[in-house]
Amino acid sequence: MITVKEIDTKIKELTEECKRIPDSHAKPKKRRIAFLRNVRLYIETNPRPEFIQSEIERLKTTISIIDDRFYEWIDGKSGSNLKNQWRSLNNYQHLKKQLRTLKFIA
């Protein structure tokens, strides 16, 4: 599992890189810094590896259920971007972000 010290080192490196490059190229690095800060907050709570794995499995199951139930929800509905509406109703992006963060930690 990744440590707080490793996260701090990566954040410091990316911050230094952002200072040396133009703003247009720094945007992806700034997003990565925000992601790492989120990971750091999570790691500071000292989660058990078993808990992280169980949360990963729970999120995978939830995402799978959301995807499977889309076709039941779509019956009788019309319009564009129905899949985006369905995912918005179910906080799909938030779940994916949580999953990505937990996978990074594990």
Tell me the per-residue pLDDT of 48-59, one tens digit each, with 9 for 90 and over. Answer: 999 999 999 999
Q: Is the pLDDT assigned to residue 14 strictly greater than 90?
A: yes
Distance CA 74, CA 55 (A): 29
Domain ranges of the chain: 1-46, 48-106
Q: What is the DSSP secondary structure assignment for residue 2, as one 8-state letter?
A: -
Tell me the per-residue pLDDT of 61-105, one tens digit each, with 9 for 90 and over. Answer: 999 999 999 888 888 777 778 888 888 999 999 999 999 999 999
Q: Count of H helices and E strands in the chain?
A: 5, 0
pLDDT attached to residue 76: 77
Single-letter residue type at 38: N
Q: Global pTM?
A: 0.77
